[in-house]
Structure 1
Amino acid sequence: MSNLDSLESGKADFGIVDNYSRFSDKVSVVMPLYPQLLHILYRKEKSPQSLRELFTMGKIFAGIEGSGTRMFVDELMKDMGIEKSECTFVDVYDFFEADVIFAFTDLLTQEELRDLEGYHLYSIDEVANLGQGSLAEAICTRHPEFEPYIIAHDLYGSFTERAILTIKVDAILVCRTDLDPRLVYNMMKVLSENSQDLKNINPLLYQFSSDFDSRKLSFMLHPGSRDYLDRNAPTFFERYAELMGVIVTILVALASTLYTIRKWQLQKKKNKIDVYYQRIMAIRRNAQVVENTETLLALKTELQATQEETIDLVTDEKLLADDSFVIFLNLYKIVNEEIDKKLNLLLGV
């Protein structure tokens, strides 16, 4: 049973898997730990001339079913147009019967190297081709979770008589998705605080960090991990303080503009009522000097028309029904009464 299976079944709370394992919504990432190197080994008596030939030269061990290594090898075969029927895979119990071994591991130990003394390491391409469109780069283009990696000359002593071009993928610490976020948060906190001790365990852990890009992960990030990554993140107001300042400035400017426009509109309406004041006063002055009923009746008609016009303007909201309008109505009433009184005198009523 793989680590992923153990997590899905609830038999384990935490586990380490390749960042190329099959996706499961029951499993979430805590954090990346260290890179795992792809070691491709073949028996010394063999001499493969290409990666394609490697797949057809005998028994292959590529991890257990469902593992990240097996998924990668299956995808690589598809990319190269190799049918499964052309290959013979063996399980872990027949590991040393394999003619070819694919394994994502950390650095091999001296004990492991002794166990593998009947094998050579296979280089995916010439190291000199790195950066020039090498096969390793082609694989990483199709599978961006991987990166090219050079196993240095003599890193494994006589086992690496020349530099080996391969690829690497992160080993990631994962957990059950339903674990308490506080537990996961504290797990990350402990690992981060003891990162120096971890780096002393294995050279590949030298770049271990609790700050990482979660977009490159094959699983969802656990909420507890997200909380830890965001622990020093600025608050909403801190993050958008400058933007909010700009927005407030714009709102103030807009309010000021609207106030100015409103004030102008009110002044415009006030200026309009002043025009009607002047018209009524002109009618009043004319009525005071007129001595015939016909002209007075005409002035009275003009006065009434002026009043009706202002009422229409108020109805259409083109004139304010404020104190100025009340004064206008009172003035209208006074002038109208004066005209009526003078008409009565002229008519002898």
Structure 2
Amino acid sequence: MQLILSSRKYRTLDLQLLSPRLRIFLIVIVWLIALSALVIWLGTSREHRLAIAGGPAGSETLALTQAIAEVLNEKNLGFRLIVFESGGSTQNVKFLSEGRVSFATIQGDARVSDEVTAVAVLYQDAYHLIASEDSGITAFQELAGHRIAVPPTSSGQFSSFHFLARHYGIAGEIPDALPMSEEAANFAMEQGQVDAVFRVRAPGNDSIRELIGEKRLRLVEIGQSEALSLKQPAISPGIIPRGSYRGSPPLPTEHLDTAVVNRLLVTRSDLDQHLVYQVTRAIFQNRSEILEHSLLAGFIGPIADESSSVITTHPGARSWYDREKPGIMQQNARLVSALLYVVAILSSALLALRTHWVRSRRMRMHDFNKELMALASTVRSDKDIEALIAHKNRLMDILEQVVSDLERERVSPDEFEQFSFTWQAVDALVRDRLLLFGVVEQTPRAET
């Protein structure tokens, strides 16, 4: 007990010995660490709520997005999807631009700004023109002068209809193109108040099947889809398969040519990349479960490469699609291996040249040192003064050669230092021998 009290006493004493500034600094550090931990915890535990503009009430697009939200929300993935009804593609683009929603569904041919980026292809829509048998309408350009029920102005389908009208040159001849909901259009067609209905829907659409039923209605071919794609790259040639709306007798009676366009899931370009990556991954990893709620989920697919996509893909979605693509090193494996092979050969050659150069340099210094040792041996036994002077001159010649090699970097400073030690020893020996025989070297005197 005394030991415990003593240790507490010493700890209290240590804290008291700390200066006030240091104690304040330590307290601030502790609080900053605690605050940082709290911020990190809140950031990782916070659930993101993401709004999706799904489409008009009763539409297959709204049903599909609701199925996606229902499945993903059960997974506790760190985000929650909330689907809202909307007027269609045009209104959805507006909601995205205003920041009122995080995701939206649109037709691939809808007009968008650079702020809108693609996440996934949901399915393909086809252009439908349904006309009564009594109207005599057999082609789109024959709509002139007839009453047509078209989708609401807030939808991308409305823009698609007028795009076709301009292409076929009847834009000024269809004053009776009346925007209305699908339910109102079906009712007007049943009552004979309109002659035709235009929609952009997936083949086999329930609302269109309900409209046709057993009535005397026909599906009208929309040709020239290749020409349409020249004006709107999002459009491509497609068909409405035989029997899509009635099996017996089949309607259409054969595959019907038309124009098709992708229905897209899009988002804002400034939405967090990691969050979009998570949503994209969750959709594709849980597609089989979504399929149990909506058959259209079987058509969910990735966005095509940027070169063939009309709308830019969000970086988060693109990183998911490209996750298994080979990197630049794998794509150029042969070239990289060839370059590495060349580098290895050149490195070996350079190393061999350097080794040869170092060896030749050492051999040159070895020859100089060997000559110095031979000269020293001769000086020890030589008693001729002229010969000793000649040896002295030879020493100076050798020194001049080595200094010249040092300047041309043919001799390293370390090698020169070793040489100078030997040279000075031999030079001292020559001096001693000359002094022994009474020869004193003349040194220049300073002028007075």
Q: Compute the TM-score of the two structures, normalised by the length of structure 1.
A: 0.71
Among 211, 217, 221, the alignment partner of 1:112 is 211
Matched, 1:185 2:278: yes
Among 103, 118, 121, the alignment partner of 2:219 is 121
Q: Which residue of 2 aligns with 1:332?
A: 423
Among 58, 66, 69, the alignment partner of 2:157 is 69
Quickly say closer, same or farther: Cα 1:113–1:268, change in 2 above 3 A.
same
CA contact (8 A) 1:16 1:174 kept: yes
Partner-residue secondary structure (3-state), 1:31: strand
Name the CA distance, whole Å, in 2 between partners of 1:11 and 1:332: 89
**Deviating more after overlay: 272-281 vs 338-347:** 338-347
Matched, 1:149 2:227: no
Among 175, 179, 201, the alignment partner of 1:92 is 179
* Count of paired positions: 331
CA contact (8 A) 2:107 2:264 kept: yes
After superposition, residues 229-268 of structure 1 pair within 5 angstroms as 229=321, 233=324, 259-268=351-360
CA shift for structure 1 position 57: 4.9
CA contact (8 A) 2:145 2:176 kept: no
CA contact (8 A) 2:109 2:232 kept: no
CA contact (8 A) 2:145 2:173 kept: no
CA shift for structure 1 position 17: 1.5
Query: Which letter maps to 1:139?
Result: L
CA contact (8 A) 1:199 1:206 kept: no
Q: Which residue of 1 aligns with 2:109?
A: 20
Name the CA distance, whole Å, in 1 between partners of 2:115 and 2:230: 28
CA contact (8 A) 1:28 1:176 kept: yes
Among 149, 171, 174, the alignment partner of 2:263 is 171
Q: Which residue of 2 aligns with 1:321?
A: 413
Deviations 1:55-86 (A, max 9, x none): 645455554446433444555566x4838445
Quickly say closer, same or farther: Cα 1:226–1:69, change in 2 above 3 A.
same
Q: Which residue of 1 aligns with 2:12?
A: none
Partner-residue secondary structure (3-state), 2:97: helix
Partner-residue secondary structure (3-state), 1:280: helix
Quickly say closer, same or farther: Cα 1:14–1:102, change in 2 above 3 A.
same
Query: Which letter maps to 1:320?
Result: S
Name the CA distance, whole Å, in 1 between partners of 2:346 and 2:264: 53
CA contact (8 A) 1:26 1:178 kept: yes
CA contact (8 A) 1:23 1:218 kept: no
Name the CA distance, whole Å, in 1 between partners of 2:362 and 2:123: 79
Q: For structure 1, which runs of at least 5 residues remain unmatched after alignment?
A: 126-134
Q: Which residue of 2 aligns with 1:132?
A: none
CA shift for structure 1 position 311: 1.8
Partner-residue secondary structure (3-state), 2:396: helix
Name the CA distance, whole Å, in 1 between partners of 2:218 and 2:169: 23
Deviations 1:234-279 (A, max 9, x none): 8989979x79x96988877776665544433322211111232244
Partner-residue secondary structure (3-state), 1:272: helix
Deviations 1:272-328 (A, max 9, x none): 1123224435555665557352x5434422321210221232233210222x53442
CA contact (8 A) 2:139 2:221 kept: no
Name the CA distance, whole Å, in 2 between partners of 1:191 and 1:234: 17
Q: Which residue of 2 aligns with 1:82?
A: 169
Name the CA distance, whole Å, in 2 between partners of 1:184 and 1:330: 72
Query: Which letter maps to 2:416?
Result: F
Among 5, 28, 32, the alignment partner of 2:121 is 32
Name the CA distance, whole Å, in 2 between partners of 1:170 and 1:301: 96
Partner-residue secondary structure (3-state), 1:174: strand
Quickly say closer, same or farther: Cα 1:104–1:183, change in 2 above 3 A.
same
CA contact (8 A) 1:21 1:218 kept: no
Q: Which residue of 2 aligns with 1:5?
A: 94
Name the CA distance, whole Å, in 2 between partners of 1:237 and 1:344: 78
Q: Compute the TM-score of the two structures, normalised by the length of structure 2.
A: 0.58
Q: For structure 2, which runs of at least 5 residues remain unmatched after alignment?
A: 1-86, 441-448
Query: Which letter maps to 1:325?
Result: F
Q: Percent identity?
A: 19
Query: Which letter maps to 2:422?
Result: L
CA shift for structure 1 position 36: 1.1
Name the CA distance, whole Å, in 1 between partners of 2:110 and 2:230: 18
After superposition, residues 206-217 of structure 1 pair within 5 angstroms as 206-209=298-301, 211=302, 213=304, 215=306, 217=309
Determine which structure has greater relative contact order: mean sequence separation of CA pairs < 8 Å that are 6+ residues apart, divided by chain length. Answer: 1
